[in-house]
Structure 1
């Protein structure tokens, strides 16, 4: 028996409209609408064709309803270049991450949530407050993903077909989730992670939306990654773009992000800001970085996958337990699923090992 919500989820994950899916399936759009509304259920042979077209196991469509992410609940990093199709595909990826997260919770102990509600705070003050709460001082943050995970945030990567979506975040009950497009530069992704952290602590219980919310999250991220006192002490004055390129190494941020931060701290003038932005653009620093840093990956998912492989549980078996394609697991876990083989050799075990939350805070 088809679960209507799962059909809609798989279609969106594939990036298909109802009309496009109907054409591929050889039925009318109205028939697809009736399938997804639960008015009718497709015959077995049609369900098998649906599974082939959408590249999901038949079992996926017959499993219980899923806790689907709705667009209003998610804070997206990018608003201007994102199409509805890209948004829906990203949200569908997030919903599949819920399935994996729930399965992991049944077998592992992961870090507890340690975020504070900073609604109505000035973003710069909120960033300083959170740094103080977490004992980070004024020092650069070595790894944003590790820091978020140590504080109980579930961090997942986004797949290739959602490349126009930089990042998004969402609260699911008391658990925060962040999704990062790791196809961007590592510096860009670090800023995205800090930006989404801003949404999580500033906008959990509502508040500004749209461009104002994005601006607040940007200001939070800039202050969180580049504390004012540290920047002023290290870069009291700037005369050339090369100084900025050299200075950015300390905070592992993009050239553009540091130019912006120097301007907000009045270290560079309006005229200098415009000049440095033009120079940086001419050098291609909006899409690439000089002295790039390594891409950040998840330490939590690395530990989980290592423990699973120690129990001889393959990524294929994980996918089968969740009734999803193996590729979806790989896409969500920063490619770390490649650590465990996709073979059919399984050894029965009495249970999974528990993974305790890491006390490392990414610094």
Structure 2
């Protein structure tokens, strides 16, 4: 059945409203007047392909969605904006998220053209009842992190590139400038799958922890339309669970204990063993040199560098695993607050943050590589290749130069 102008207008209105945009806001985004948007939605004005493409981008949709037999009234971004209305009002943020989803859709289309099956790249899902208390949330997060590390065959070793790990599980990632109180968010989209977005303005180590935090939402909270990790929501049970997951996932208890033991630290100051031979017993006692087992700030700096986390995260982990008590924690934290930790880390050459390969850069490399392959197979034109390259900051001359050097340019 052909799509009527009236039905197309209804779909435009539905997509706009589901994003929480007014006609005036949509008009500003696509360089049309409010009256023109009103006429399009009423079916009394035709809409060009260029205008519809701009509208689709503004509401976070693929233009093809407007012509589908079954129109999806609310997609992932729309659901997010409906529950978080203040996000939709932040124009730059809205555009950044729209860019991420647009890239995700184009990547999905390239994979389809090249017959790359992502169905086999699917993150696990852990169904758990909603936690009843913070303690319950912590226990759930830690157990699931342990199970996921076992499933991935990570053992007690540090995790290398989280972006690469995410990609192997079918999870796309992106870096976006978000409000400072938002560390990241996770979107579920029927077309592009799971998309994790991290705040690009945060430090490398904080972004790394945020990735692990969002991975918890991917694994446990997939029935939700999306998840936003805000500083002011850190006491909510699902956020407590995600933070507990991230700590155990990044710094497994077994690995932390092993690392401390390798430094000759963390053991008991006094150990006793009773050796029994079926007739009598021999008592053996070993006393460590006073203070020899005390963990110092330089030990915490080495631990943090080993697992790719911040020193303060390492200190909290040591405390939670009872490798240091509260008094020792306060002493070490005070030293860290004075800047001693950074000086020590510099001295130990352990201050360089473990940079991910750059969520945008890794995505960009794969995106451009697939686009070049699709062009070589004549699945997309050179003009389409140029359009895709522009989405990740590459100009027409860059495209022409690489095609020419690879012998792929137009004759």
Scaled by the length of structure 2, the TM-score of the pair is 0.60
Where does residue 116 of structure 1 map in the other structure? 124
Question: Are the structure 2 counterparts of residues 23 and 295 from structure 1 closer, same or farther at C-alpha, using a change threshold of 3 Å?
Answer: closer
Where does residue 70 of structure 1 map in the other structure? 77
Where does residue 244 of structure 1 map in the other structure? 300
Question: Are the structure 2 counterparts of residues 275 and 26 from structure 1 closer, same or farther at C-alpha, using a change threshold of 3 Å?
Answer: farther
8 A contact 2:125–2:220 mirrored in 1: yes
**CA RMSD between the two structures:** 5.1
- Bigger fraction of residues in strand: 2
**Out of 105, 108, 111, which is 2:111 matched to?**
105
**Out of 159, 169, 186, which is 2:204 matched to?**
186
Gap runs ≥5 in structure 1: 331-336, 350-363
Q: Structure 1 residue 168 and structure 2 residue 180: aligned?
A: no
Question: Are the structure 2 counterparts of residues 321 and 190 from structure 1 closer, same or farther at C-alpha, using a change threshold of 3 Å?
Answer: same
Question: Are the structure 2 counterparts of residues 97 and 34 from structure 1 closer, same or farther at C-alpha, using a change threshold of 3 Å?
Answer: same
| Larger-Rg structure | 2
Deviation of 1:223 after TM superposition, in Å, equals 0.5
Where does residue 244 of structure 2 map in the other structure? 219
Give the Cα separation in 2 of the matches to 1:123 and 1:173: 26
Q: Deviations over 1:220-249 (max 9, x none)?
A: 111011100111222336644333222211
Bigger drift between 228-237 and 159-168 goes to 159-168
Where does residue 268 of structure 1 map in the other structure? 324
8 A contact 1:263–1:269 mirrored in 2: yes
**Out of 332, 349, 352, which is 1:291 matched to?**
352
Give the Cα separation in 1 of the matches to 2:62 and 2:224: 34
Question: Are the structure 2 counterparts of residues 247 and 18 from structure 1 closer, same or farther at C-alpha, using a change threshold of 3 Å?
Answer: farther
**Out of 151, 158, 164, which is 2:175 matched to?**
158
Gap runs ≥5 in structure 2: 130-139, 228-232, 261-265, 267-292, 343-349
Q: Greater relative contact order (Cα 8 A, min sep 6): structure 1 or 2?
A: 1
Q: Deviations over 1:213-272 (max 9, x none)?
A: 122111111101110011122233664433322221111112232223223222233344
Give the Cα separation in 2 of the matches to 1:273 and 1:71: 44
Note the 1:22-101 alignment, pairs <5 A: 27=33, 31=35, 34=38, 41=45, 64-65=65-66, 68-70=75-77, 72=79, 84-85=89-90, 88-101=94-107
Count of aligned pairs between the two proteins = 324
Give the Cα separation in 2 of the matches to 1:272 and 1:167: 32
Where does residue 130 of structure 1 map in the other structure? 148
Give the Cα separation in 1 of the matches to 2:212 and 2:111: 25
Give the Cα separation in 2 of the matches to 1:253 and 1:212: 23
Secondary structure of 1:204 counterpart: coil
Give the Cα separation in 2 of the matches to 1:295 and 1:177: 17
